[in-house]
Structure 1
Amino acid sequence: MNKIMRKMEVKYITKNEPLLLGKKDLGKTKMSVSDKKSFWELRGVSLNIGEGEAVGVIGTNGSGKEALIDILAGNTKQTTGFITIDGKVNRASARRGMDNALTGLENIQKAISATELDEIKAKHLVNAIINFTDLGELLYRPVGDYSIGMYSCLSLGIALFVTPKLVLLDSVLGNLDNIFYIKAAQKIQSLKDIGVSFIIADTNVFNIERFCERTVWLQYGEVQGFGPTKEVLEQFEYYINWFRSLSLPEKNDYLAKKQKERIDFDVSTVYEEFKSEQFKHGFTRKDEPRMRKAFYKDHGVDPVNNENGNIEEKNDDEKNPQNKKKNKNSKLKYAVGVLVTFLIIGGVWFSIDNKIFAGIGNNNDVTQTASEKSKQEKKTESTAKKASKNSSKSKALSDSKAKVASSQAAASSSAASSKASSESAASSSSAKASSESKAALLKNTQTINVSDGDTLEGLAQKYATTADKIKEINSMTSDSQLKSGDIIRVPK
């Protein structure tokens, strides 16, 4: 499967909510107080969104659509799972997100002040939203007095204009009048064209079909389908027709069964999926305590996507060849420094030893007679000359050794540096060649959605190419990597 740029990725999201039951209620439902205190509103939801893409969220009432939107908007915290989002998230809702005590204009100004735009740009943005919503004098009334349509209109205007990157539309489109709906649809499409992404939760499949390239179907907190919108809507429609065909007792039995599943759900089954994915990316059993902590407690960045979260604890040299080169150079400099230090200490010690020897000779001269002193002076002079000569030889030998050591160290350093430079150049050349090869390969290709039942051979025949060519373009290694809902590239 090829890797497309992600605006957002959601993995293993669950949400546990308490059940507020009294003792009488517990008796009626045959639940014990000890083990029936909550139910799972979401059960392992995973999905992703690309730049400029709209993903729909459908499902019957109580399926978990609003719970998912609340989590993605940051209004509530998931029980488990990870959310990776690139950019600011805006939300448009029919009943929440604005301060009901403030006027419409004050809500606009409040939303813009949070972006830290300069005064001129902020004023332009306020005017743009005022012109878009076309609420007139109603902007000077408290939002709490607005009808559901007016509230939806203002909420949508703020979400679409205030630095949008990812916009969540929570059952808001169905509350708009026809004139404003057309205006909003044009704005949504223009934002998609420049890379803004959307998640649209709606009970009206028409809105999902109009705006969304892919759709996720939630039912009782679980993902029943995620892929091309047309295919998922067909599955959803089939389910609705099947449910309608049931008799009343059959419907009641089915609903009771599904409600019980949400109460008895075991979240460890989702953790096992998460753990299997981590093992596929090189994590091992010794990493499991950290994996468990990340899944159940931290709920932060997905360990697989976190560049600094590699819990294999590889050392820096293995992670970064540049660090390895620096460490080698540091060790070489340290060795040269130690050698030079020993040579200096040796030279100083030899000089002190000569001075002591000369001082002893001078004290003996005082006690000797003139003739003995003269002989002794000659003898001392001769000895001094020999000592000086030996000292010169020793110093020359020491200097020679130091020069040789320094030369060897410098040569070693130069060789190491040259080798590292060669390796770096080779790596750079290889990377450049690989990049040029990849660019040439992707030229004259197009992206397609993989449908259920598609095979590499079938797609190759459809687009006049070969299965091996499709594998090469999308960096695939086997046919099993082709899954329904994937977006891949094929020759034009």
Structure 2
Amino acid sequence: MDVIDQAVFLDGPPCVVIDSVKMTYKVPSSDERSVSARKGLKGKLRRLFRMQNLVSVNALKEISLVVERGESVGIIGRNGSGKSTMMKLISGQAAPTEGAVYASSTPILLGVNAALVPDLSGDQNVVLGCLAMGMDMAQIDAQFDSIVELSGLESAIYLPMKSYSSGMASRLRFAIAAAVNPEILLVDEALNTGDAQFSNRSKARMDELRAQAGCVFIVSHSLETIRTMCSRVIWLDKGELIMDGSPEETTRLYQEFSTNLSRGNNFSAARIRNEARANLVATQVLERASGRRTEGR
């Protein structure tokens, strides 16, 4: 993860720049239909030792984005579209195959698999999580009550975390991650708790972060969460950027796309997807021609 040179953007640097990023994984496949798998000595050895072929999977095709300060960006798409891969690239957990990701500070990734210890109580996990993010004990003491209040756990904070429901654990993870006032917060499927009060509290907290000149990325299958908490939404499908627009318009088209797919109307779904993608490309071309800094380069 590189830190943006402050002199690059004279009007103030954005929080995150994704520059022509591609991500390709090599994964094993048991498919023996390829020529190398069924012909020659190599193919015979593969069958003899039941070796698997390595095939390339394009998790993300070439994508470029600029995310400014104060933005809350929702990322939507079907399973396998590259949403979590993008979050890993932004957070620095993985390096892109091509291109680069730049950030104005170290992003904090909050995911449903955040590494806390189930056998410890909630309050002990608060200390553990905050220490892992670089806070000292004085800072943890000062933030403890606000963390518990945001999580909504009340007296359950003193119970073992393994006794929590998935929603309770997700709320605690969010409250811990948000305690350090990160400039860049990444939230991966951690807000779908079904708790209306927590939804209001977490939205208020993210509004605070955005007001402090930071930015937030949210991955969620809940379109209502995306519409409520985001100022901008990107739609990914099979590793490709399909749409980058307002929450209302982007989620509306994505919902129409998904509904048609679920009903077997593949032609209609493909038309919606292709039109959205074509409009995005046309917009990027116009923005490049105007000479403005744009999401796609």
**TM class, shorter-length:** 0.7 to 0.9
Aligned to 2:224, the other structure's residue is in SS state: helix
Q: Which has the higher strand share?
A: 2
Task: Find the aligned partners of 1:483 and 1:51 in 2 and give their Cα distance.
Answer: 14
The answer on 1:13 being equivalent to 2:31 is no
Task: Pick from 287, 290, 293 the counterpart of residue 480 of structure 1.
Answer: 290
Alignment of 1:151-166 (within 5 A): 151-166=169-184
Task: Find the aligned partners of 1:102 and 1:72 in 2 and give their Cα distance.
Answer: 30
Partner of 1:190: 208
* Aligned amino acid, residue 154 of structure 1: L
Partner of 1:467: none
Partner of 1:40: 58
Aligned to 1:6, the other structure's residue is in SS state: coil
Deviations 1:445-490 (A, max 9, x none): xxxxxxx87xx9xxxxxxxxxxxxxxxxxxx9x963369879xxxx
Task: Pick from 75, 95, 108 the counterpart of residue 57 of structure 1.
Answer: 75
Q: Residues 238, 130 of structure 1: CA spacing in aligned structure 2 closer, same or farther, 3 A cutoff?
A: closer
Residue 185 of structure 1, CA deviation:
1.6
* Aligned amino acid, residue 71 of structure 1: L
Partner of 1:175: 193
Partner of 1:215: 233
Say whether the 8 Å CA contact 1:125–1:161 is kept in structure 2: yes
Alignment of 1:261-272 (within 5 A): none
Partner of 2:142: 124
Residue 4 of structure 1, CA deviation:
6.0
Residue 109 of structure 1, CA deviation:
1.0
Task: Work out which of the two has the higher radius of gyration on C-alpha atoms and give 1 or 2.
Answer: 1
Aligned to 2:28, the other structure's residue is in SS state: coil
The answer on 1:134 being equivalent to 2:152 is yes
Residue 157 of structure 1, CA deviation:
0.3
Say whether the 8 Å CA contact 1:153–1:176 is kept in structure 2: no
The answer on 1:202 being equivalent to 2:12 is no
Q: Residues 95, 118 of structure 1: CA spacing in aligned structure 2 closer, same or farther, 3 A cutoff?
A: closer
Say whether the 8 Å CA contact 1:111–1:162 is kept in structure 2: no
Aligned to 2:186, the other structure's residue is in SS state: strand
* Aligned amino acid, residue 25 of structure 2: E
Aligned residues: CA RMSD: 3.3
Say whether the 8 Å CA contact 2:186–2:216 is kept in structure 1: yes
Q: Which has the higher contact order (CA 8 A, sep 6+)?
A: 2
Say whether the 8 Å CA contact 1:217–1:226 is kept in structure 2: yes
Aligned to 2:113, the other structure's residue is in SS state: coil
Aligned to 1:173, the other structure's residue is in SS state: coil
Task: Find the aligned partners of 2:295 and 2:29 in 1 and give their Cα distance.
Answer: 41
Task: Pick from 249, 260, 264 the counterpart of residue 231 of structure 1.
Answer: 249
Deviations 1:288-319 (A, max 9, x none): xxxxxxxxxxxxxxxxxxxxxxxxxxxxxxxx
Task: Find the aligned partners of 2:79 and 2:119 in 1 and give their Cα distance.
Answer: 30
Say whether the 8 Å CA contact 1:10–1:84 is kept in structure 2: yes
The answer on 1:81 being equivalent to 2:89 is no
Could you state the TM-score of these two structures normalised by the residue count of structure 2?
Answer: 0.74
Say whether the 8 Å CA contact 2:112–2:189 is kept in structure 1: yes
Partner of 1:103: 121
Residue 198 of structure 1, CA deviation:
0.2
Residue 16 of structure 1, CA deviation:
2.2
Q: Residues 75, 106 of structure 1: CA spacing in aligned structure 2 closer, same or farther, 3 A cutoff?
A: farther
Q: Residues 119, 204 of structure 1: CA spacing in aligned structure 2 closer, same or farther, 3 A cutoff?
A: closer
Could you state the TM-score of these two structures normalised by the residue count of structure 1?
Answer: 0.47
Q: Residues 210, 56 of structure 1: CA spacing in aligned structure 2 closer, same or farther, 3 A cutoff?
A: same
Q: Residues 118, 150 of structure 1: CA spacing in aligned structure 2 closer, same or farther, 3 A cutoff?
A: closer
Residue 6 of structure 1, CA deviation:
0.2
Question: Gapped runs of 5+ residues in structure 2?
Answer: 1-9, 38-52, 271-281
Residue 156 of structure 1, CA deviation:
0.7
Q: Which has the higher helix share?
A: 1
* Aligned amino acid, residue 222 of structure 2: N
Partner of 2:5: none
* Aligned amino acid, residue 99 of structure 2: G
Residue 65 of structure 1, CA deviation:
0.8
Task: Find the aligned partners of 1:229 and 1:193 in 2 and give their Cα distance.
Answer: 19
Q: Residues 67, 101 of structure 1: CA spacing in aligned structure 2 closer, same or farther, 3 A cutoff?
A: farther
Q: Residues 141, 239 of structure 1: CA spacing in aligned structure 2 closer, same or farther, 3 A cutoff?
A: same
Deviations 1:130-181 (A, max 9, x none): 2322323433344344321011100110111123111111112222411222
The total of aligned residue pairs comes to 260
Partner of 1:446: none
